[in-house]
Structure 1
């Protein structure tokens, strides 16, 4: 039946055209943004996951920055320890030379004094961002240093921040508040380092950093004079060798921490890339598919317009009956 009141064909064509236009808007939005899921209305589950993971990835980026800061602190302390090892090694060589009866011990002591000044300078300057793991002036001593190393989300959604702990007490070279806490300022019993100790303590320390306080070392500072005996030089040499071993152990520990920080930093970077890829699989649009679909919808839109035009024109044929 043909009706001039209700154009069923035109209504059908219009509904189809509206549907095509809505699909085109969706496809154009995906093409322009590159996202298949832009809002919760597109896919609530995927949008929620993507939003959470993007937030976690941002937190991991901050962890990466913290690891970089921690790595810098470890590098500075490690560099200072390595330099201290070289200087103490030189002091050891000077003491070996002092065992020769014909050498001028006072001249060697002048060299020792300069080498000890170099150790002080090394310890004081090994600071980064206000932290010095080789030099302490705080009466309370140093605590364990913590480097932010990870951001973790448990299965129940709760988040925690993981840290990498560094035992700074083992790396302090000079402690002006308590000489016993410094590798270079603490007393070392030379008698205990003998193959067969005599039982008579002979304490020596390398650097006198706090002679005016009650916490100063009580032994004898390693220094030479014209009257220094061969036995005393031998005792000093044993103590310096022991200090060198302790410095080497401290540097080895810091080296292990340095390696751990580098590994964790690489892992965090890789993890961030993996999360970004995972989020992309959930919400990114397939541009090949969307561009092909957009082209097809454009064709459908043109056909819809033509169909609507034909449907509208069909009612004009009724007018011919009245002519």
Structure 2
């Protein structure tokens, strides 16, 4: 039955055209944004996962930046400790020279005084962004990672360096360092009446300081290795997270391009179909022409 009041064919064609237009709108959005899931309504589960992982990856990036700061702190402390080892070795050599009976010990002490001043200068200069591990009596920390636990809680991982155990000085006051592993070295003082036994004691003091400085440098080296490994791992982890998120939400551009071409063809056909359906009412007029 054909009715002039209700054009069922046109209604069906219009619904088809609307559906095609809606699909084309979604496809064009995917093509322009590059995202298959751009908002929660596209796919709630994938959108939620990708949003969380993008947030975690941003935090991981911040932790990686903090690793760079930590590496700079370690490098600064290591440079200071390495220089201090050289200076203490010089003090050791001067004490050995003073063991010769014909040497003027007061003149040797003048050189030792300057070397002691250099140790204080090294300790003061070993500061990065206001933090000095070489003049410290507590432990120091370096951010080395960001993790999300199984229960959904998050945590920032840190690596510790026992600065209090390896610091050159505990404090520096009036330009003189005291405390720390160089405390005894700073008290060395030769006079004209200094005996060989006292010089031997000073040598043992210097050797103990050298051993402690070596241990501290080794600890810093181990921490630097850990930071470098963590930095490399963080970079790989960030790439893996980005790849995983991409699989969830990124559009397959080849597929979207093929779909868009198909929808454009369907749209043209739907428009023609609607035009044909609408022309049916006009054809009824011919039945009333005599």
Fold conserved between structures, TM > 0.5: yes
- Report the counterpart of residue 263 of structure 2 in structure 1: 297
1:16 and 2:16 equivalent?
yes
CA contact (8 A) 1:123 1:134 kept: yes
Q: Greater helix percent: which structure?
A: 2
Please list every run of 5 or more consecutive structure 2 residues that lacks an aligned counterpart in the other structure. Answer: none
- Report the counterpart of residue 241 of structure 2 in structure 1: 275
1:234 and 2:197 equivalent?
no
- Report the counterpart of residue 206 of structure 1 in structure 2: 185
CA-atom RMSD in angstroms: 1.8
In 2, Cα distance between equivalents of 1:50 and 1:156: 18
Counterpart mapping for 1:163-174 below 5 A: 163-174=158-169
In 2, Cα distance between equivalents of 1:317 and 1:243: 109
In 1, Cα distance between equivalents of 2:170 and 2:154: 38
CA contact (8 A) 2:171 2:178 kept: no
- Report the counterpart of residue 55 of structure 1 in structure 2: 55
Q: Deviations over 1:103-145 (max 9, x none)?
A: 3322222111111111000001111122111124xxxxx2221
CA contact (8 A) 2:139 2:163 kept: yes
Of 234, 240, 244 in structure 1, the residue corresponding to residue 210 of structure 2 is 244
CA contact (8 A) 2:135 2:172 kept: no
In 2, Cα distance between equivalents of 1:294 and 1:92: 81
- Report the counterpart of residue 68 of structure 2 in structure 1: 68
In 1, Cα distance between equivalents of 2:150 and 2:134: 41
In 2, Cα distance between equivalents of 1:180 and 1:224: 19
- Report the counterpart of residue 180 of structure 2 in structure 1: 182
In 1, Cα distance between equivalents of 2:241 and 2:90: 51
- Deviation for aligned residue 1:20: 0.5
- Report the counterpart of residue 262 of structure 1 in structure 2: 228
In 2, Cα distance between equivalents of 1:235 and 1:156: 59
Counterpart mapping for 1:108-119 below 5 A: 108-119=108-119
In 2, Cα distance between equivalents of 1:104 and 1:72: 43
Q: TM-score, normalised by structure 2?
A: 0.93
- Report the counterpart of residue 147 of structure 1 in structure 2: 142
Q: Deviations over 1:202-226 (max 9, x none)?
A: xxx211xxxxxxxxxxxxx312233
In 2, Cα distance between equivalents of 1:174 and 1:144: 14
In 2, Cα distance between equivalents of 1:284 and 1:177: 58
Q: Which runs of 4+ in 1 moved over 6 A?
A: 177-180
CA contact (8 A) 1:123 1:173 kept: yes
In 2, Cα distance between equivalents of 1:6 and 1:64: 67
- Deviation for aligned residue 1:312: 1.4
Kindly tell me the number of residue pairs found equivalent between the two proteins: 286
- Deviation for aligned residue 1:21: 0.3
CA contact (8 A) 1:169 1:181 kept: no
Please list every run of 5 or more consecutive structure 1 residues that lacks an aligned counterpart in the other structure. Answer: 137-141, 186-204, 208-220
In 2, Cα distance between equivalents of 1:236 and 1:166: 29
Counterpart mapping for 1:76-155 below 5 A: 76-136=76-136, 142-155=137-150
- Deviation for aligned residue 1:315: 2.5
CA contact (8 A) 1:172 1:183 kept: yes
Flag the 1:181–1:109 CA change in 2: closer, same or farther, 3 A. closer
Q: TM-score, normalised by structure 1?
A: 0.84
- Deviation for aligned residue 1:30: 0.7
SS of corresponding position for 1:94: helix
